[in-house]
Chain A
Amino acid sequence: MASKVNIRRFSSAQMLFHFVLIITFMLLSVTGIAWMYIETGWGKALAAPFGGYSGTLEVHRITGLILLAGFAVHILYTIWKIDWKHFPGSLINRDSIVFQWRDVKDFFLHLGWIVGLSKGPQFDRWSWWEKFDYWAVWWGLIIVGVTGLMLYNPVLTSEYMPGWLLNVALWVHRIEAVLAMAHIFTIHFFIEHWRPRCFPFSATMFEGSKCIEHLREEHPAWIARLEKEGRLDEVLCPCDPVPMRILYFGVGYALIGLGVFLLVFALLNAGLLTLKL
């Protein structure tokens, strides 16, 4: 039975944040790529469900605002979750998602393990790539958010700054968005779903929990710490029922498939763009 017992890893609020992020990110990806590729047949086809070019712009803008509102709520949530009594020490404990010196060491130990030179690191609650993925959303959202707001109403923006800053904002927005999409649709999907240990799908972010056996391998220091502190029972939980897991898989792969489709067709059609770096 032990292999069927899960460990709670994410709260309902955190899963909701991730789900809202997935939906808004995918919608922004589809409309953003449709907008960028509107001069190609593929771009027009992507834009068609949104009512063509102008409809795509509107959906992109409104979804962007929703995502930024979600980000604002997340910032408030983060501030609320900080243990202010033990601040700033609370930011650098082992449950914290803040980068610490330990993560630098873990990175090189992990690299050493990959190339067969050293024993692998004992990851605690968050591995360095999980922290990177989390903070990359912050940095990405700040960049696309600021530039997106600048581009939202160019006439109004140019009242407060020179209009030529919009040339800069558009390219920065575009490159950061392409970076984010390419990273999510390749690196993030690979690490979380496609590498041999996780293949074909990891439902942790939908289920909120993960099989303890898997976590003993992926986050051994965390499980050892929970056992040592006698807190393991607090985080144990049952697996979700099979129909729910099928649903997670179906929804997850629909989104993964959409991401891969966008990436592949964007690459195939890149030569047709008149936009040149």
Chain B
Amino acid sequence: MNMLHPIRNGITLLLGILLPFGGQALAAAPHAYEAASTGYFRDGDTLPGAYLQHRQSPGGGTLWGLGPGGGDVKRSSFWGDAHAGVAGYGYRSCVSCHEEQRYSLHSSRANVTCVQCHRGQPISGIHHYYSEMNPIRRHAYVCAKCHEGASASFATYVIHEPPPLASSTAQEFPLFFYAVWCMVILAVGVFAVFIPYVTLWGLRELIGMFTGQRQSHGQ
């Protein structure tokens, strides 16, 4: 037993020396560039689309590439402060820049405001690794506040959906684009046939009645 004392004391001493250094290393301020990004900023990050490989996408996958996420991704969506460097940022409303996001079902029907989902200050990009909006935790930290039991799959619902008929949507969200176009073609097709058809039919019957042709068909 006595022989073990020096060893135990030595280990304790070693830990006592090393741990504070380890703690300091963890607590050290990150490099400025690293703080604004996910940390993936090496050689490839200046190339277009380089960030795509770092996006988290749990919950259902994209069904043979038909789901959302095919469009361009803003680099700032990976930053800890998505609005770093935006002039006059503190005095502007969200929609003064994000006009296209002004309306969604959440805002127009449930009166949900931007910051109720895009929380915290500074507002982090939705793909930033520690963001509440990151798809790996979005369902739990954001959706489930109102939608009890929301799963990662549920959180893949696109709140700010692109205009379904716009050509760019074919790449951003293919199934959405093609399904809505099919329905629009079906609806327009039905009316394109029926409206001229019944208009002429009505006129034909009217003329038939005035000219004494009582029978509408078959005679």
Check B204 against A113 for contact (C-beta < 8 Å): yes
Instruction: Evaluate contact between A154 and B147: CB separation under 8 angstroms.
Output: yes
Q: In the bound complex, how far is the Cα of B196 from the Cα of A123, in angstroms?
A: 21
Interface centre among A155, A159, A167 (most CB of B within 10 A): A167
- List residues of chain B with CB within 8 A of the CB of A218: 216-217
| Segment among B26-34, B91-99, B178-186 that sits at the interface with chain A | B178-186
Do B61 and A120 touch across chains, with their CB atoms under 8 A apart?
A: no
Contact A39 B108 (CB under 8 A): yes
- A87 CB to closest chain B CB, in angstroms? 31
Given known pairs A123-B218, A171-B164, A220-B217, the reply for A179 and B61 (CB within 8 Å) is no
What are 10 A-B interface contacts by the 8 Å CB criterion? Answer: A110-B217, A120-B219, A162-B63, A183-B190, A195-B198, A196-B205, A197-B209, A217-B219, A220-B219, A221-B218
Task: Judge whether B68 and A167 touch: CB under 8 Å.
Answer: yes
- Determine whether the beta carbon of A171 is less than 8 Å from that of B179: yes
Q: Chain B residue with minimal CB distance to A162?
A: B60
CA distance A187 to B175 in the complex (A): 31
Knowing A122-B218, A123-B218, A274-B103, the reply to whether A161 touches B198 (Cβ < 8 A) is: no
Flag whether B11 is at the interface (Cβ < 8 A).
no
Interface size class of B (residues with CB under 8 A): 35 or more
* Interface residues as binary, A178-194 with B (CB distance below 8 Å gives 1, 0 otherwise): 11001100110011001
Q: Across chains A and B, which 9 residue pairs bring their CB atoms closest together, nearest first?
A: A162-B60, A274-B103, A120-B217, A158-B154, A175-B183, A179-B187, A196-B205, A163-B157, A163-B156
Measured CB to CB, the residues of B under 8 A from A are 59-63, 67-68, 102-103, 108-109, 147-151, 153-158, 161, 163-165, 173, 175-176, 179-180, 183-184, 186-187, 190-191, 194-195, 197-198, 200-202, 204-206, 208-209, 214-219
Looking at the assembled complex, report how far the CB atom of A112 sits from the nearest CB atom of chain B, in whole angstroms: 11
- List of B residues within 8 angstroms of A179 by Cβ: 183, 186-187, 190
Partner of A158, one of B103, B153, B200, B209: B153
Beta-carbon contact of A195 and B183 below 8 Å: no
The CA of A55 and the CA of B193, in the complex, are separated in Å by 38
By the criterion CB–CB under 8 Å, are A162 and B158 in contact? no
By the criterion CB–CB under 8 Å, are B187 and A178 in contact?
yes
Across the interface, name the chain B residue whose C-beta is closest to A166. B157
Task: Determine the chain A residues whose CB is within 8 A of the CB of B147 once the complex forms.
Answer: 154-155
| 8 Å CB contact of A155 from B148, B158, B200 | B148
Q: Say yes or no: B202 contacts A162, CB within 8 Å.
A: no
**A119 partner residues in chain B, CB cutoff 8 A:** 218-219
Task: With a 10 A CB-CB cut-off, give which of B175, B194, B206 has the most chain A CB atoms.
Answer: B194
Residue of A116, A164, A186, A194 contacting most chain B CB atoms (<10 Å): A164
In contact, A154 and B157 (Cβ under 8 angstroms): yes
A residues 106-154 near B (Cβ < 8 Å) are: 110-111, 113-116, 119-123, 154
A242: CB under 8 A from chain B? no
Q: Is the CB of B150 within 8 A of A39?
A: no
Most chain B CB inside 10 Å of its own CB: which residue of A115, A158, A221: A158
Q: Cβ of B153 and Cβ of A162 under 8 Å apart? A: yes
Given A167-B68, A196-B206, 16 more A-B residue pairs with CB atoms under 8 Å apart are A120-B215, A120-B217, A120-B219, A155-B147, A161-B60, A161-B153, A162-B59, A162-B67, A163-B155, A164-B176, A176-B183, A183-B190, A187-B198, A195-B201, A195-B205, A196-B202
Q: Is residue A50 contacting chain B, with contact meaning CB distance below 8 A? A: no
Look across to chain B and name the residue whose beta carbon is closest to the beta carbon of A277: B165
Q: Provide the bound-state CA to CA distance between A274 and B95, in Å.
A: 14
A residues 209-255 with Cβ under 8 Å of B? 217-218, 220-221
Contact A167–B161 (Cβ < 8 Å): yes
Which one, B61, B163, B180, contacts A162 given CB within 8 A? B61
- Give the residue name and chain of the A residue nearest to B69 (CB): A164
CB of B147, distance to nearest CB on chain A (Å): 6
